[in-house]
Amino acid sequence: MTAPSTFGLSHEARNLHWLLTNLVEEVPGLLSVAVVSSDGLLLLSSDPGRNAQARQGDGRPSGPRGSAADLATIVSGIGSLAIGAAKLMDGGAVKQTMVAMEEGGLFVMSISDGSLLGVHGSPDCDMSVVAYHMALFVGRAGHVLTPELRNELRRSLADTTTGTAK
C-alpha cells in the first residue's frame, strides 16, 4: 500500500494520514482501510490511487468494484444496519462490527459523529490485534475529525482521484 500525498494539507489532516499509514504498516494482514463519513463518503483510504484505477480508458467511472469506494460503500451499509439493529434491540451505541468470512474479515468501528473506520483483513490476520489497533486509531482520531477536517479530507480525496493539482 502506498502512502497518500499530504502536500498542502492541514496539520490535522496530515496527522490522520499518518495514523492511517501506521495502522496499515503495524498490523499484518490488512488489505484495505477506509475512513467513511456519516453520509457514506470516503474520507481517507489506505490506497487512494485505487480510485483512479477504477476508471475506464475514457476517464469515466467504471463503478466502485476494485476501488477504495468498495470498502467505503460496504462499511457505510454495515454501519447503518448495525445502528438500526442496536436501536431495535435497545442495545445502545454500536462500538464495533465484525464479519468473518472464509477468505478474510471485515471490521467496522465507530469513530465520532457517525464516522466509521473500516478494515478489510486477510484470512490469516489476528482479529484481536486488528481490533486493538483500530481502537487506538479511533481514540487518536476521534477528537480531531471535525466537520472542517472532514470537508478538507473530501476535497483532498476528490483532487487525488481526478488528478487535480493543489
Report if residue 106 sits inside a domain: yes
Q: Within a domain: residue 70? A: yes
Q: Give CA–CA dist 162/128, Å, rounded.
A: 37
pLDDT for the residue numbered 165: 47
- Say what the pTM is: 0.81
Q: Is residue 6 part of a domain?
A: no
Q: Examine residue 89 and state whether it is found in any structural domain, yes or no.
A: yes
In a domain, 153, yes or no: yes
Q: How many domains does the chain have?
A: 1
Torsion of CA 50, 51, 55, 58, to 10 degrees: -110
Residue 51: the pLDDT is: 40
Q: Which pLDDT belongs to residue 27?
A: 94
Residue 117's pLDDT is 95
Q: Is residue 166 part of a domain?
A: no
5: in domain: no
Domain extent, residue 87, equals 11-161
pLDDT score for 166: 45
CATH number for the domain spanning 132: value is: 3.30.450.30
Per-residue pLDDT tens listing for the chain (166 residues): 444 456 678 888 888 989 999 999 999 999 999 999 988 889 998 875 444 444 344 444 444 445 678 899 999 999 999 999 999 999 999 999 999 999 999 999 999 878 999 999 999 999 999 999 999 999 988 888 888 888 888 888 777 655 554 4
Residue 153, Cβ density class (10 Å: 0-12 exposed, 13-18 middle, ≥19 buried): buried
pLDDT of residue 161: 59
Does 146 reside within a domain? yes
In this prediction, residue 58 carries a pLDDT of 45
